[in-house]
Structure 1
Amino acid sequence: MVPADGSHPYVVRRPSESTFLTIRGLRYHVRRWGSPEWVRPESPALVMLHGWMDVGASFQFVVDAMVSPRYVLAPDWRGFGLSQAASSDSYWFADYLGDLDALLDELLPGQQVDLLGHSMGGNVAMLYAGIRPQRIRRLVNLEGFGLPASQPDHAPKHYAAWLDELKMPQSLHPYPSLEAVAQRLRRNNPLLRPELAAWLAPHWARQRDDGWWEILADPAHKRRHAVLYRKEEALACWAAITAPVLWVEGDRTDMARWWGQRYSRAEFEERLQVVRQLQRRVLSPAGHMLHHDQPEALAAHLEAFLR
């Protein structure tokens, strides 16, 4: 697809291959760059976990910017991209942990990995690295902040809201053209360059029989998780991480935009104190989609950390 502004189309430097396999009863799609033959104890496979309403192809720009060859795998989470949706009317966060564990057992049995996660994927990665610390050599968290703390007395209203949502049909807005999909991506993130949006659009959406384009995501993802986020349990997992951790954020990310006063930056900084070996980097200019905004800078930080 040619970018709407007339700029040159994005040219992929490191092509990927698609693998499909059955994970916990679902047909899973995993995007792979490089070769398993490149895996060494000092350079294990790098597994990249995308965020909510995203796809594994989202990491293409970072992989292209990496100088050293690495074997990289990026699954599409259940109900996103080309992975099968769950046969359920809602999604459970623990299933992402189960899927990741099964994927590693299937594709990289008995191997340590370097694990990277963005946003929701970063939250999964942080929990998993504390649950299975022996599997993770290095951990990279791209703005996986966790969620506001909950209290037990929140449960009745939370479950009631979840039950109400189960009765409401969920849908995702369709788009008349691939150009409109790319424009939507840029509205979400004004820092996204037109040529990157044009390349990402056909990986983020597919054309229906009527000619319109739909986002590759199960609308059921819009429903809240039934179980409250338990900060104490999450931090117990964070504290059990034994791998060195790299935290990366964008200088334009504003937590208050998502959670207002329910979850402050000060509280997040307090949570980070439980992580034993922590390095931090800030990318500029960059927002929440920092792997799109500054792929070259992010790749440089990744390679330095993973070495």
Structure 2
Amino acid sequence: MKLSRSEFINIRGARVHVRHWGREGAPMLFMVHGWMDVAASFQFVVDALEGDWHVIAPDWRGFGQSDYTQSDTYWFPDYLADLDAMLLHYSPDSPVHLLGHSMGANVAGLYAGVRPERITSFINLEGFGMMATRPEQAPGRYAKWLDELRAPAQMRSYPTLQAVAERLQKTNPRLTDERAAFLAEHWSVRNEAGEWDIAGDPRHKRVNPMLYQVEEVMACWRRISAPVLWVEAADTNMWEWMGPKESARLEIDRRLGFLKDVRCKMMADAGHMLHHDQPQALARLVEEFLASI
């Protein structure tokens, strides 16, 4: 494995953990992880990169070693503001290559449209967005959020790191024992009782009271000027967020139509965590894309 180093920076009132691989001064490749994940999740892809890169990957606030929020709820625009602040910190004068997975890709896609001058290229790994919502869903969503605030958010603990690794493999059967053991060390932290807690704030499990406004997101996508590499996994289940597979495919293709310069790739023999399942193939796709722009 390629060695990484950790750094902590203060961003918008939060102490944020950032992981670095590669040579300082090399071309910068910024990677942002998904929901209930951590920066170390990109280790296998970084190991497979052949070029000279400085890879920078933060733990989003509320995940990994970064600070948790002091409020009841994580607000999605805060991730956008955190990304803006981090890119200003690491690359104040030059645009960057930006790669995001899942939730991280959704944040990165918004950012690439809101600040198009700050992005040289955008690599979207399974960042489809969410199902479109209707205004009449708002009362029920607010009520559910209020109900959830009445009790502390909780997640289960695990007796050993091996149990954490087995939990990861239950979610992703393609995960090898070696990769699961590595991820378990970064995905969990030992508590005072000697058990292992997932390294993520349980409050992330609360429902977002704000409805997903797909056309607002598409207005941002329309403004992306950087070339986009869109990578889906052949065996993903993320389309389930949007309903039956056939109608979900139509909606995903509709959304792709808002991107001016997009190159679509399908990753065979991979699920949603494609950076764990096929890191070598993904690294090759990424570097071929970056070399072509």
- Fold in common (TM above 0.5): yes
Instruction: State the match for 2:113 in structure 1.
Output: 130
Instruction: State the match for 2:182 in structure 1.
Output: 199
Match of 1:71 among 43, 54, 76: 54
Instruction: State the match for 1:272 in structure 2.
Output: 256
User: For the Cα contact (< 8 Å) 2:16–2:67, is it kept in 1?
Assistant: yes
The residue correspondences of 1:1-307 to structure 2 (distance < 5 A) are: 12=1, 14-39=2-27, 45-261=28-244, 264-307=248-291
> Identity percentage over the alignment?
53
Q: Under a length normalisation based on structure 1, what TM-score does the superposition of the two structures give?
A: 0.92
Once the 2 structures are TM-superposed, how far is the Cα of residue 284 of structure 1 from its aligned partner? 1.5
User: For the Cα contact (< 8 Å) 1:92–1:226, is it kept in 2?
Assistant: no
Once the 2 structures are TM-superposed, how far is the Cα of residue 256 of structure 1 from its aligned partner? 4.7
Secondary structure class of the residue paired with 1:37: coil
Distance 1:256 1:57 in 2: 26
Secondary structure class of the residue paired with 2:9: strand
Distance 2:185 2:237 in 1: 29
Distance 2:266 2:175 in 1: 18
Work out the number of aligned pairs and report it: 290
Residue 190 of structure 1 aligns with an amino acid whose one-letter code is P
Secondary structure class of the residue paired with 1:264: helix
Once the 2 structures are TM-superposed, how far is the Cα of residue 91 of structure 1 from its aligned partner? 0.5
Q: Deviations over 1:201-258 (max 9, x none)?
A: 1100011122100000000000122211101100000000000000111110134544
- The 4+ residue runs of structure 1 with deviation greater than 2 A are 254-263
Residue 254 of structure 2 aligns with an amino acid whose one-letter code is E
User: For the Cα contact (< 8 Å) 2:131–2:241, is it kept in 1?
Assistant: no
Residue 233 of structure 2 aligns with an amino acid whose one-letter code is G
CA RMSD in angstroms comes to 1.2
Distance 2:244 2:45 in 1: 33
User: Which consecutive residues of structure 1, in runs of 5 or more, have no partner in the other structure?
Assistant: 1-11, 40-44
Residue 232 of structure 2 aligns with an amino acid whose one-letter code is E
Residue 24 of structure 1 aligns with an amino acid whose one-letter code is R
User: For the Cα contact (< 8 Å) 1:182–1:198, is it kept in 2?
Assistant: yes
Q: Under a length normalisation based on structure 2, what TM-score does the superposition of the two structures give?
A: 0.96
